[in-house]
Structure 1
Amino acid sequence: MQTFFLSLILLCLTIPLQSRTLPFHQSHFTKRSFHQNDRNVASPQEYFEVTKPLPFDGAHATCTLPILTHNFSNTYGLPPFSVPYFPPLNCIWTHVTLEIQASCQGEQHDRIAALWLGGAELIRTSTAEPTADGIFWTVRKDVTRYSSLLSQNNLTLSVMLENIVNEVFTGVYQVNVTFLYYDANAKNVKPLLALPSENYWPSSRKLKSVYNPLEPLVDSEKGSFDLLYEKPADLIIPISEVGDEGYWFRIQNESDIHSRGVRIPQNTYRAVVEIYVSFHGDDEFWYSNPPDSYLKVANDDEAQHVNPSDSYANMNKVTMGRGHGAYREVLVMIDGNLVGSVVPFPVIFTGGINPLFWEPVVSIGAFDLPSYDAELTPYLGLLLDGKVHSFSLRVADGISFWLVDANLHLWLDAGSEEVLAGIAFSSPEFSLERELKFAGLDGKFQIEAERETKICGWVSSTAGNFTTSVSQKLKFKNSIKFYNNGTRKLVKQKVKDKIEVRIESGTGHRILHTKTKRTYPLKITTETLPGGNNTYSMIARVKNSVKEKKTVGGAKSTLQNSQKSSGWMSVKDHEVLSGGASTEQNYSYEDGLECYSRVVEAENGTLLKDAARILCATSS
């Protein structure tokens, strides 16, 4: 760390200042193949995202299905690479892990990628930026929730990864995809971490009685719905594109709405929509976008004072389209009515802000972007009429471009061909306030938004009569400040999302209560300084975190994942010529059965510390 800060001080002292400077907006870069601090790495380096291990990591899989091996070179503009999917024969399994192994060597941009099965997205991911010596990484995700798809024959598995290879960008992404099937009941399979079981929850009612119409699942005096609540859906319907450009919708602006017609089976007793989203182009750093009025002043100012051949000026000219303010929200609608929304976690891709931050530890969510669930059960009263309903996705205040799709998870009553449902009440509220004050290229922009939704609906099925109430309270606050004639920028954002789901019997007894609280604090500071030979330098600091507390029935869990990065780089035409960076990350997860923590420190591409702990502090 002392070496890094000494380099930072020397940078500030030696860079020649010019009388004219321009505002800097968060941008995207590639790394020229240089060895930081003359380190000589002969073999490929492993990159990774810090997260807790999956329950079956290290265990022997009951069945293994290597399904896809492909080199993504000149794939830009081509359809996804697809192969047929058949589950392994004579394989008994209860859990499934998706494993993606990737490698690359040379120089290349980071790329967004996704994998779909039968048109339903299983994972959204991105690549790391390679080096001349080569890099590799592995992504593992528990995909048990997609069991209804994974058990089907003759589906199409598709992977989209658009890449360009030429004389400059030489990196080819080599990708292997494997499914690992585990039987939690097998004697030779021992999970690394504990799995939820019927003994874990307050109730011990077994799942085999779920569809027995003579023995209702829901007991009016004590909860037994919690096991069913965590059970994978019986049917998954994609809300996605069906073209040659991938199964995601490409949303170009705030009025761009993409829809799919869906007919819901009339014996559906629970519905959840799962949203996948990533942001690119002028909205890759949406949380740092100033309003359009500021961009107009900056553009006019640039046109009057800047030599268009200057690399420093060209950098700012490219980023001048990144406006429209810093509020974004993905909206889900049914027949034009809002039924769910999410402000996504600000994932920073490995070429973002300073790519030297993300080696070998990538940013939070870069290898496994989060998906977001919205409970739609209270709306079944509108959907169980046998008619086709329009499910739509859009991005409030969005500009080009967003990649969004969704999966509709449905739970079906096997004991009946039709269930009854109705809506009891709905009370949505939304407020948005904007404040801006600037003079020239300096100023402050603040946005505060709050959305509160309460919806209640009832369902009568062979599982019992129950009412589902969903309440969500979302708070969004963003502040952007420019200093020093716009060359120094401070971004602060905080998103708080609280979601509660209550399920009660027909007699008013509480069956299940789930509560999820998420907080996404983000802070970014950047400063740009002009250099010689059409170069400029940037100093940046990033603090990005996710905090979550969750309660499902009698089970509680907490997650804290915090990342701090700082560094500098010398840039020409969006290519990093040299620089230095350090990243620290603290990850901790705890519930009633397990604890996991990991502390990682990296500097100039070298891992200095990696300490993980599985046992709880109170355990022996």
Structure 2
Amino acid sequence: MLPGAFIRHSAAAVLLASLAGGFVTQAVADPVVGSTNVATADPTVPRPPGQPCVVTLFTDVTFDDFNTRPYSYTPPTACKGAWAKVVLEADFSVTAGRQYDRTATLWLGGVNLYFGTTQEPSAAVSPAWHVERDLTDYSALLRNAGQGQAIIGNVVNSTYTGVIHGTARLLFYPASVGARAAAVPDAVYPLGSDAVGSTVSLNTSADKLARTLTLPTNVERAYLDVFTQSQSSDEFWYTCVPDAYASQTNECGGGNFREAEISIDGTPAGVAPVYPWVYTGGIDPYMWRPTPGVQTLNFLPYRVDLTPFAGQLSDGNPHEVAVQVAGANSYFSATAALLVYRDAHAKQVTGKITRNTLVGQAPTPTIGSTLATASNGDVSGAVTTKLDRRFVIEGYANTSHGRITSTVTQNTGFDDKQTFTINSSTYRQQTWQRTWSESTSQSRLGNFLTAERHEHFNYPFSLDYNQQVASDGSSTAASTVHQGYRQRDELRLLGLTVYGADVDNTVDTQDTLAFDASGNLTGHSGQQSAQAFAFHDTLGSCYRASLTTQSGAVTGYVAGKGCPDGVNRVSWFAHPDGSPDSSLLPGR
């Protein structure tokens, strides 16, 4: 007799293959050449066939202070059955004038529905932008009525005049013959203590975002979606240096290594790399008009596989699940949600962790320096920061299918080099950074390997900041930034690759600011940027888009070039933005 897992996974392979033809044409609103409004090459969330039920969360709400904006949620009455997909859509705008970029979050029952920042306006431009997030994996949360809130803290006075407005809704797509019901988690648990929802500030490496939970006694798989956003003194963490070199380089201290550390009952359980997001007021605001940096307006969570701990989490005892940020230096804003799959045919799952080599591997990078100070005070040289770790976490769970052994193997690394040239006329800092993570999640029934998922993430980032001071005391500051987000996913069932997907998103931008001898901004020049976004998968999906800007306006936009027939077509169940994908989880 074939094992039950063999049958399940073979059926999954057939199902994935049968969906290969379910393409939709991406309905991206093309940026208009000459426009100064927000323009990105990002894809929207692809939709299944059929009409969705729409639930409005709020409409044209004004954000002009630091109070929350509460709303009530009720599930759609016309779509009570299984859902193929759930999508959040939100539209924001800010009036012309002076205003900072602001952090924006949406919540329901303590769970984060959206996390991003806002676009800064100018005196003449009132930007508007649209964001989407695939919330299908949060369907269990959305089955019940609840309270939510929108949080966009904003100061409006005689100096800061930009008023932010927002509208948000949820779209529910019923399952049908052409769109299967999603195999979603059975429960979603927020880690934060706010019953409606809010982030937690992590000022130091010791601070925790944590919650103690007593979970059902039949947990079969578990995953943690993590957001860690840099704030305040940590906003430009990627330019900081170790304290020993801060004074010499005139830079922020605390070092530039940041990483989210996940623990269960105080034991290391996983890591999540931190993305170097740059907000639209960051470094040089003109660089991000009209195209913001990678994910600036719409962050992606990083999903950590906690399935090896399923047996431990099912023992009926309370367990603390926590997130910390190694290197946090006032501060990171964090939130996380625990996604749990239950064994429908077992009241009690038992098991334990059998191997955890992450224990004892402290996130302590190696620091190097060639900095030298000449007799006249000139400084030159570089500071390097490196960390490369490999760990294996393995555990078993006795389920209704038999004993399932889950293994997570991960390589995670950080490599940073900052070169300084400092003298009487020059302050130049060149930052080159790369964060990466390679992980494999395996599921075994006895000794039989049933499923494995491979993930590769790569976050390249570089910044060249070159300040030149003239003899009259005036100065210029030229900045060039390269950001990248690269992701590769692959699912294998019974040793065969049944699905693979690649995401590649890059933004390159530059601008030069001019200041008078008193430090007042007198103008800027040379603004130009380019974004390129590419997605493809092994079932025939293809999305490509690129755009260019100059002097704050769109100068070119191309969509579909490099895809078959020059048209973007993406399977409705795909995740072209790189967001976590439940269809790629081992054990389905």
Residue from 510, 513, 523 that aligns with 1:569:
513
Match of 1:502 in 2: 442
Match of 1:52 in 2: 43
Report the 3-state secondary structure (helix = DSSP H, G, I; strand = E; otherwise coil) of the residue aligned with 2:370: strand
Match of 1:604 in 2: 551
Residue from 70, 94, 112 that aligns with 1:104:
94
Report whether the alignment pairs 1:559 with 2:492: no
**Deviation at residue 504 of structure 1 after TM alignment:** 1.1
Report the 3-state secondary structure (helix = DSSP H, G, I; strand = E; otherwise coil) of the residue aligned with 1:370: coil
Q: Is the 8 A contact 2:483 2:508 kept in 1?
A: yes
Q: Is the 8 A contact 2:511 2:524 kept in 1?
A: no
**Deviation at residue 541 of structure 1 after TM alignment:** 0.9
> Superposed, which structure 2 residues align to 1:162-241 within 5 Å?
162-185=153-176, 231-241=183-193
Distance 1:159 1:589 in 2: 31
Distance 2:515 2:545 in 1: 33
The amino acid that maps onto 1:162 is G
Distance 1:139 1:328 in 2: 27
**Deviation at residue 608 of structure 1 after TM alignment:** 1.1
Match of 1:312 in 2: none
Q: 1:442 to 1:242 in 2, by over 3 A?
A: same
Report sequence identity in percent. Answer: 24
Match of 2:211 in 1: 260
The amino acid that maps onto 1:240 is G
Match of 1:339 in 2: 269
Distance 2:531 2:449 in 1: 40
The amino acid that maps onto 2:127 is I
Distance 1:426 1:293 in 2: 34
The amino acid that maps onto 1:262 is L
Distance 1:152 1:378 in 2: 29
Match of 1:450 in 2: 388
The amino acid that maps onto 2:549 is A
Distance 2:472 2:76 in 1: 59
Report whether the alignment pairs 1:288 with 2:288: no
Report the 3-state secondary structure (helix = DSSP H, G, I; strand = E; otherwise coil) of the residue aligned with 2:56: strand
Distance 2:366 2:237 in 1: 17
Report the 3-state secondary structure (helix = DSSP H, G, I; strand = E; otherwise coil) of the residue aligned with 1:487: strand
Distance 1:351 1:494 in 2: 23
Match of 2:16 in 1: none
Match of 2:581 in 1: none
Cα RMSD for the two superposed structures: 2.6
Q: 1:576 to 1:480 in 2, by over 3 A?
A: farther
Q: Is the 8 A contact 1:44 1:135 kept in 2?
A: no
Q: 1:519 to 1:574 in 2, by over 3 A?
A: farther
**Deviation at residue 369 of structure 1 after TM alignment:** 0.8
Identify unmatched segments of 5+ residues in structure 1. 1-40, 188-194, 198-206, 208-229, 300-319
Q: Is the 8 A contact 1:447 1:478 kept in 2?
A: yes
**Deviation at residue 447 of structure 1 after TM alignment:** 0.7
**Deviation at residue 607 of structure 1 after TM alignment:** 0.8
> Superposed, which structure 2 residues align to 1:6-45 within 5 Å?
45=36
Report whether the alignment pairs 1:390 with 2:390: no
The amino acid that maps onto 1:339 is A
Distance 1:464 1:598 in 2: 46
Q: 1:614 to 1:101 in 2, by over 3 A?
A: farther
Distance 1:539 1:619 in 2: 37
**Deviation at residue 274 of structure 1 after TM alignment:** 0.9
Report whether the alignment pairs 1:581 with 2:572: no
**Deviation at residue 578 of structure 1 after TM alignment:** 3.3
Distance 1:86 1:595 in 2: 36
Q: 1:142 to 1:243 in 2, by over 3 A?
A: closer
Distance 1:250 1:145 in 2: 26
**Deviation at residue 182 of structure 1 after TM alignment:** 1.5
**Deviation at residue 265 of structure 1 after TM alignment:** 1.1
Report whether the alignment pairs 1:157 with 2:103: no
**Deviation at residue 579 of structure 1 after TM alignment:** 3.3
**Deviation at residue 339 of structure 1 after TM alignment:** 0.7
Q: Is the 8 A contact 2:113 2:135 kept in 1?
A: yes
Q: 1:614 to 1:146 in 2, by over 3 A?
A: farther
Distance 2:449 2:274 in 1: 31
Q: Give the TM-score taking structure 1 as reference length.
A: 0.78
Q: Is the 8 A contact 2:99 2:162 kept in 1?
A: yes
**Deviation at residue 356 of structure 1 after TM alignment:** 1.4
The amino acid that maps onto 1:580 is G
Q: 1:542 to 1:615 in 2, by over 3 A?
A: closer
Report whether the alignment pairs 1:523 with 2:475: no
Q: Is the 8 A contact 1:71 1:172 kept in 2?
A: no
**Deviation at residue 90 of structure 1 after TM alignment:** 2.2
**Deviation at residue 61 of structure 1 after TM alignment:** 3.6
Q: Is the 8 A contact 1:44 1:136 kept in 2?
A: no
Match of 2:366 in 1: 433
Match of 1:476 in 2: 414
Q: 1:576 to 1:425 in 2, by over 3 A?
A: farther
The amino acid that maps onto 1:133 is V
Match of 2:84 in 1: 94
**Deviation at residue 49 of structure 1 after TM alignment:** 3.4
Identify unmatched segments of 5+ residues in structure 2. 1-31, 374-378, 493-497, 568-588
Q: Is the 8 A contact 1:289 1:323 kept in 2?
A: yes
Distance 1:574 1:379 in 2: 56
Distance 1:323 1:232 in 2: 43
Report the 3-state secondary structure (helix = DSSP H, G, I; strand = E; otherwise coil) of the residue aligned with 2:365: strand
Q: Is the 8 A contact 2:315 2:349 kept in 1?
A: no
More moved, 536-545 vs 415-424: 415-424
**Deviation at residue 181 of structure 1 after TM alignment:** 1.6
Q: 1:490 to 1:383 in 2, by over 3 A?
A: same
Q: 1:143 to 1:448 in 2, by over 3 A?
A: same
Q: Is the 8 A contact 1:45 1:134 kept in 2?
A: no
**Deviation at residue 47 of structure 1 after TM alignment:** 1.0
**Deviation at residue 458 of structure 1 after TM alignment:** 1.3
Residue from 230, 252, 259 that aligns with 1:279:
230
**Deviation at residue 559 of structure 1 after TM alignment:** 1.4
**Deviation at residue 534 of structure 1 after TM alignment:** 8.1
Q: 1:575 to 1:254 in 2, by over 3 A?
A: farther
Q: 1:574 to 1:452 in 2, by over 3 A?
A: farther
Distance 1:525 1:236 in 2: 42
The amino acid that maps onto 2:212 is G
Residues 405-443 of structure 1: per-residue CA shift (max 9 Å, x gap): 110000112222211222222222456311123223433
More moved, 532-541 vs 125-134: 532-541
Distance 2:271 2:42 in 1: 25
Residues 228-273 of structure 1: per-residue CA shift (max 9 Å, x gap): xx722110010013289x6111011222233221112111111111
**Deviation at residue 355 of structure 1 after TM alignment:** 1.5
Match of 1:135 in 2: 127
Q: Is the 8 A contact 2:110 2:195 kept in 1?
A: no
Distance 2:464 2:248 in 1: 22
Q: Is the 8 A contact 2:280 2:292 kept in 1?
A: yes
Residue from 371, 376, 381 that aligns with 2:311:
381
Match of 1:191 in 2: none
Distance 2:515 2:106 in 1: 34
Residues 522-559 of structure 1: per-residue CA shift (max 9 Å, x gap): 11101112469986421011111122111023101111
